[in-house]
Structure 1
Amino acid sequence: MRNRSVTVIFGSLVLWGLIIYFLISDQPVDREQETTRISTQISKLERRIKQEIALNQELFASISEVKQRKRKIIVNTYTDEKQGRNTNRIDEDKLLLKKEKKYVDNNINNNDVQQLQIEPVYSSETSYNVPIKGKLPNGSPIIAVLVFSCNRITVQRCLDQLIKYRPNVEQFPIIVSEDCQHRQTADVIARYGNQIMHIQVQPDQSDIEVPPKEKKFKGYFKIARHYGWALNHVFFQLRYDTVIIVEDDLDIAPDFFEYFLGTYPLLVSDNSLWCVSAWNDNGKAGLVDENAADVLYRTDFFPGLGWMLTRQLWAELSPKWPKSYWDDWIRQPEQRRNRACIRPEISRTRTFGKTGVSNGMFYERHLKYIKLNTEFVHFTRMNLTYLLKDNYDINFVNEVYQSTVVSFSELKSGKVMAPGAVRIPYYSRQAYKNTAKQFGLMDDFRSGVPRTGYRGVVTFFYKGRRVHLAPSANWNGYDTTWS
């Protein structure tokens, strides 16, 4: 840090020396042109010095906060041990503290990392106010929205909606992390000025070595690298406690922010949850109850596509973050650890990105038919404790296995006379896939889990009736060989 300050001072002296030289020099020089050039260099240097000061202040603040957290944990450890309380939470805090301290130390000691972070700080000269604390003065959580962008100028469509529907600038700061060095996309993002924070280019733009058989999937390796860097930056450097991840090809519903605010207390209070997602993989028109915009579910399948996570989860995942295919990696049992996500009946996001790294996989058959919610639901005024595991599991299992068993043909022909929800059993991978295709559901598995599945049950809506595509009642877990 001291070496960087010396460099800045030396640069200043050199520039002022040049100015004096040209003022006293007898050589024929276009003084107006030279003065303009020097003024430009001085302006750049001033901006850089301001960035240096801001970065140093941020690092010192991080160090101070880490020390305070350490002292607090020591006190809490003594108190809890004295009173014989459970110390699991203390252990989690210690691990998180260790991860954060390591990140701060790396930023202080690694000059190369510092240099990369100085250049592209913000897209506007107006400084963006980054809250250090995790809550507003009224106690409401601050939830950052992290937008991943690359080479789509249509990121404007996504950002326009986020800004339009954002209820509170301070509560939902928008951070755009840009990869790919795509000039046109960078220009679009820069137009938003201080309405957003723009991390202009994630530092590592080097080529990635991939196995010969996976060369055509190199894009997935770059995406994983971008995710890892940006999440480290937002959680460990900018110090946010909670983040909603959005990609640059998503539309959002009018109650997008209300949905995450309402479900936030569940995420931080129920250890069996590890994310909240705005996406329903089977949320196509005709497979959802359009009169049930307020209905939410637990799912064992990680949905993504607009999802919220905490710093605690990222501190767990970041040390082992994969080099590619991060979304399928996160669905593996070693990462999921029997935890679930919250997902809606009707999606609060919809993708408009037909082309991309996945080459439009699933888009024509499924994704373009996803229904985006239009009814504003006041989730923060609702009692959502039914989604807590202890409450949900009992009610869910009873509802599923007390429902009437029917066949697809009976349901399709309208011959089912019993009222209420119905159940279609499946006992093998192929039986599930056959039935899913008949209804138009996504029929694939990831680490043995079907999309939207909970305890093996996939719930959807068909011809005015709730349907449960369910395994036997004595189901004892997912079979990863079904993937």
Structure 2
Amino acid sequence: MKSSKSRGFQGILVICIVVLLLLANLMWMKKVQSDQALHDAEKRIVDLSSKIKVLQGSLSTSQVEQETDHSRVKTLMMRINELESKMGFSGAKDTSSALQGSPNAPPPSIVKGSTAGRGESESERREKSNEVSASFPSSVQQSAGGEEAQVVPIIIFACCRAKYLDRTLSIVLERLPKQSKVKFDIIVSQDGNDPSVKSLMHTKYANIKFLEHMEQVDLSTAGPQEQASYYRIAQHYGWCFSKVFADQRYEWAIVLEDDLEVAVDFFEYMMAAAELLKKDPTLWTATAWNDNGFPSYSHDPHKLYRSDFFGGLGWLLTRKLWQELGPKWPKAYWDDWMREPKQRMGRACIRPQISRTVTFGKEGTSNGQFFDSHLSKMVLNSVHIAWTTKDISFLLKENYDEQLRRQVEEAPLVGLHDSRATGKIFYKDHPSFKVLAQSLGIMTDEKAGVPRTAYKDIVIVQRAADRVLYLVKKE
């Protein structure tokens, strides 16, 4: 009996010892995990502090880059504060004070808890409100062969259409070339302070440069029936171009809007066009858009043209051209202004047969003008062409003009419904051209005396893969 009780007591004792050992092991594992978490947090703080020091030591000289670097420093400081608060540290204040004492520190206005700037003028406060919030990460692209890449900004103009902007940015990021001699910096410039756009840029796209145009718009020349929005747009464009080209690295820029989808070879096309513009002073820009890019007339993705008509909707702006246009930039209707002879000065632009952009922006300032009947029907190129490896010297004026002259001269006279492969039809003035355009289903209007897509008063319509129609103004 006693032996049985003794064995029972020993069994209970063994169970207790096993339980105690398990508890001790569990406590030891939790301690190890806690120590590791503490170690990781301390390492993260050290890494973030190092990044701040690097940023402080390499703040850029341009206004856009300075504001961007300062914003990145602020973001890093906030992350350190969050980590330290979770760990119960009190080093955040020391970090802020150390930054304020640094010779390369960001302005006091962006240091947490600062009260500096309360005595600033209204113009100074307004200038600070136009802040760049973040920069595009340089790791996204690498230069081919490892050499230093040329830096080209992609300016995306936005206002209050967050969903549109999100769609445009996602496509642009998807179609950026991963390896190129050009490094692209995306810059989103917002007119006004729509909260949905700001939230999108500060969250999902926090690593993309962000400008905010908050300046008062000059409406002194606006008529009683005019929309103020056209004045806001033009003045926003001028303000942004001035800011961007203040950065001396930028020799040319790509201009987009928040409702454009770019084609798979859009950036290749723009890079090739930029090189051609350097060789031919009679070219002043390149556009990704074909105003007559309907399915019936979009057959050859390799076909490019010269045009006297500035199409916009995805175009190239050089520093040299901005230095020319900037001092006289208009208060409204900037695109029509660029089409005027005083600005164009006989120069042409490059355009594709199949558009390299399409717009999905039915909602906007123009209230969907031409969207259902025209814009929504445009074809977007789907064939990737490595334009930077192609010879496009045929677009140089001396080559292109002679070739076009021969083609028009050799083309037989035809009727609108003639079945011959290629031909030409003469028109004498805009009313007679309009009749032809209506019959063909192409754009009928003109700007500053130039029909859309025309070059030397000739509109080229590719009716089939082997059938070209030249609409030629008779002398």
3-state SS of paired residue (1:172)? strand
After TM superposition, give the deviation of residue 142 of structure 1 in Å. Answer: 2.5
Residue in 1 that maps onto 2:404: 396
Larger radius of gyration: 2
Q: 1:179 to 1:431 in 2, by over 3 A?
A: same
Kindly provide the amino acid, as one letter, of the partner of residue 454 in structure 1.
Answer: Y
After TM superposition, give the deviation of residue 401 of structure 1 in Å. Answer: 2.3
Q: 1:425 to 1:462 in 2, by over 3 A?
A: same
After TM superposition, give the deviation of residue 187 of structure 1 in Å. Answer: 1.0
Question: 1:221 touches 1:323 (CA, 8 Å); kept in 2?
Answer: yes
Instruction: Please report the TM-score for the alignment, with normalisation by the length of structure 1.
Output: 0.70
Equivalent residue for 1:233, pick from 234, 240, 243: 243
Question: 2:434 touches 2:445 (CA, 8 Å); kept in 1?
Answer: yes
Residue in 2 that maps onto 1:471: 473
Unaligned runs of 5+ in 2: 1-87, 109-119
After TM superposition, give the deviation of residue 398 of structure 1 in Å. Answer: 1.0
Q: In structure 2, what is the Cα distance between the partners aligned to 1:192 and 1:429? A: 49
Q: Does 1:374 align with 2:375?
A: no
Q: Does 1:150 align with 2:159?
A: yes
Kindly provide the amino acid, as one letter, of the partner of residue 202 in structure 1.
Answer: H
After TM superposition, give the deviation of residue 323 of structure 1 in Å. Answer: 0.3
Residue in 2 that maps onto 1:338: 346
Q: Does 1:449 align with 2:460?
A: no
Kindly provide the amino acid, as one letter, of the partner of residue 324 in structure 1.
Answer: A
3-state SS of paired residue (1:236)? coil
What does residue range 20-99 of structure 1 map to in structure 2 within 5 Å? 53=105
Q: In structure 1, what is the Cα distance between the partners aligned to 2:249 and 2:138? A: 13
Equivalent residue for 2:208, pick from 170, 176, 196: 196
Q: In structure 1, what is the Cα distance between the partners aligned to 2:318 and 2:432? A: 37
Kindly provide the amino acid, as one letter, of the partner of residue 468 in structure 2.
Answer: R
Q: 1:228 to 1:276 in 2, by over 3 A?
A: same
Residue in 1 that maps onto 2:63: none
Question: 2:336 touches 2:447 (CA, 8 Å); kept in 1?
Answer: yes
Question: 1:401 touches 1:423 (CA, 8 Å); kept in 2?
Answer: no
Q: In structure 1, what is the Cα distance between the partners aligned to 2:297 and 2:96? A: 56
Equivalent residue for 1:243, pick from 253, 271, 274: 253
Q: In structure 2, what is the Cα distance between the partners aligned to 1:214 and 1:294? A: 47
Q: 1:185 to 1:39 in 2, by over 3 A?
A: farther
Q: In structure 1, what is the Cα distance between the partners aligned to 2:132 and 2:409? A: 55
| RMSD (Å) for aligned C-alpha atoms | 3.3
What does residue range 17-416 of structure 1 map to in structure 2 within 5 Å? 53=105, 115-119=125-129, 121-124=131-134, 138=147, 141-153=150-162, 154-168=164-178, 171-193=183-205, 195-199=207-211, 201-204=212-215, 206=216, 208-211=218-221, 213-237=223-247, 239-289=249-299, 292-408=300-416, 410-411=417-418, 414=419, 416=420
Unaligned runs of 5+ in 1: 1-35, 57-109, 476-483
Q: In structure 1, what is the Cα distance between the partners aligned to 2:257 and 2:166? A: 12
After TM superposition, give the deviation of residue 180 of structure 1 in Å. Answer: 1.9
- More divergent stretch after superposition (239-248 vs 189-198): 189-198
> How many matched pairs?
370
Q: In structure 2, what is the Cα distance between the partners aligned to 1:118 and 1:47? A: 20
Deviation digits for residues 292-338 of structure 1, max 9, x if unmatched? 10111000000100001110000000000000000000000000000
Q: 1:127 to 1:353 in 2, by over 3 A?
A: closer
Question: 1:143 touches 1:172 (CA, 8 Å); kept in 2?
Answer: yes
Q: 1:212 to 1:331 in 2, by over 3 A?
A: closer
Question: 1:136 touches 1:171 (CA, 8 Å); kept in 2?
Answer: no
Deviation digits for residues 387-407 of structure 1, max 9, x if unmatched? 011111000111122111111
Question: 1:176 touches 1:198 (CA, 8 Å); kept in 2?
Answer: yes
